[in-house]
């Protein structure tokens, strides 16, 4: 909720206006969470091994990239699929043969674009509104080391 809801919640934006505050808020949540209590309880057991990871990373998006597509294009901020997608190649990778990237083939005319670095896609309609709304938010689905290299920790009781 903290990661995905920050762009849509005024209170989260106020509590965590920058990356440092966001990380502090996340740390505070974890310190007081039932998850930490569960991990501590499990540490008392013998022969327990816990592996913690995530399904994806995220990146702090700071730069908007204008994207064009039809009304049927997907809505994700860091990747899109649809017909006739257009964006600046400095900001996106274009995938015209999804099967080469092990992506689902959604039709003959459907292609993909994936945001590079810290870019996020914004349609021209209300461009400046959405540019401001999603700037400095944590997103996923693009191509960056932060999203593609996943942390993994294996824990065992001492």
pLDDT tens column, 146-157? 998 888 999 998
The mean of the pLDDT values for the chain is: 89
Domain-embedded: residue 53: no
Read out DSSP for 71-116?
TTS---SSEEEEES-EE-TTTEEEES-GGGGT-----TTEEEEEEB
Does one domain contain both 69 and 119?
yes
Please check the confidence at residue 8 and state whether its pLDDT lies above 80.
no
Neighbours of 137 (CB within 10 A): 21
pLDDT of amino acid 63:
97
Does one domain contain both 96 and 26?
no
Does one domain contain both 16 and 89?
no
Does one domain contain both 41 and 76?
no
Does one domain contain both 19 and 76?
no
pLDDT of amino acid 96:
86
The residues pairing with 115 across neighbouring beta strands, listed in sequence order, are 92
Closest CA relative to residue 52, chosen from 148, 155, 147, 145: 155
Neighbours of 120 (CB within 10 A): 25
User: What average pLDDT score do residues 27-40 get?
Assistant: 94
Does one domain contain both 81 and 15?
no
Domain-embedded: residue 86: yes
Does one domain contain both 44 and 67?
no
Q: 42 Cβ partners below 8 Å, 6+ apart?
A: 48, 50, 157
Domain-embedded: residue 54: no
Domain-embedded: residue 121: yes
Higher pLDDT, 15 or 61: 61
Does one domain contain both 40 and 72?
no
Q: List pLDDT tens digits, range 100-146.
A: 999 998 888 889 999 999 999 999 999 999 999 888 888 899 999 99
CA distance 99 to 41: 45
Does one domain contain both 95 and 28?
no
Enter the tokens of residue 148.
Answer: 């593609």
pLDDT of amino acid 112:
95
Total of domains in the chain: 2
Structural domain containing residue 134 = 59-147
% pLDDT > 90, the chain: 55
**Residue that is written with structure tokens 């290299």 in the block:** 149
Does one domain contain both 63 and 129?
yes
Does one domain contain both 43 and 91?
no
């Amino acid at each position: 909720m903290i990661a995905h809801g920050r762009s849509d919640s005024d209170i989260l934006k106020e509590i965590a206006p920058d990356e440092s505050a966001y990380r502090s808020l996340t740390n505070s949540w974890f310190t007081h969470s039932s998850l930490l209590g569960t991990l501590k309880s499990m540490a008392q057991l013998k022969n327990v091994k816990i592996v913690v990871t995530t399904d994806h990373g995220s990146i702090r998006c700071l730069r908007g990239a204008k994207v064009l597509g039809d009304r049927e294009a997907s809505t994700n901020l860091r990747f899109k699929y649809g017909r006739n997608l257009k964006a600046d190649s400095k900001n996106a990778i274009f995938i015209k043969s999804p099967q080469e990237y092990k992506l689902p083939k959604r039709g003959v005319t459907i292609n993909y674009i994936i945001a590079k670095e810290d870019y996020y896609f914004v349609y021209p309609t209300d461009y400046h509104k959405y540019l401001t709304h999603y700037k400095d938010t944590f997103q996923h689905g693009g191509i960056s080391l932060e999203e593609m290299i996943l942390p993994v920790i294996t824990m065992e009781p001492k």
